[in-house]
């Protein structure tokens, strides 16, 4: 996954995201709809940092919540180049 690929996915799929504190670290949480997961999984198909895959939480049955810092670090993606501001609507 490259910065451009992630940026295109976030913008093309109109993915909601927010900058949050995640256990003392600046992080981004994204909330793609379930129907966008196939495209997202294609982006991160080579990710398996600890042999346990990528954790996400199903929310309300229509979208999932995914923390991005570890994922971006793994792929060498600078989060601030993809996610500007505090949330998707700024």
In the chain, where the domains are located: 3-82
Q: So what's the pLDDT on residue 88?
A: 67
Q: So what's the pLDDT on residue 90?
A: 58
Q: So what's the pLDDT on residue 50?
A: 67
Q: Which residues pair with 30 in a beta bridge?
A: 17, 66
List the chain residues with pLDDT less than 50.
none
Cα–Cα separations (whole angstroms), residue 40 to 21, 24, 45, 61, 90: 23, 26, 9, 17, 23
- pTM, rounded to two decimals: 0.86
Which residue shows structure tokens 């793994």? 74
Six-digit token string for 37: 């997961």
């Amino acid at each position: 996954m490259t910065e451009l690929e992630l940026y295109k996915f976030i913008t093309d799929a109109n993915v909601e995201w927010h900058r949050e504190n995640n256990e003392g670290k600046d992080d981004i949480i994204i909330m793609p709809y379930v129907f966008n997961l196939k495209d997202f999984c294609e982006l991160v198909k080579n990710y398996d940092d600890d042999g346990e895959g990528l954790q996400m939480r199903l929310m309300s049955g229509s979208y999932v919540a995914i923390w991005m810092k570890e994922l971006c670090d793994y792929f060498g993606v600078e989060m601030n180049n993809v996610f500007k501001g505090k949330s998707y609507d700024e």
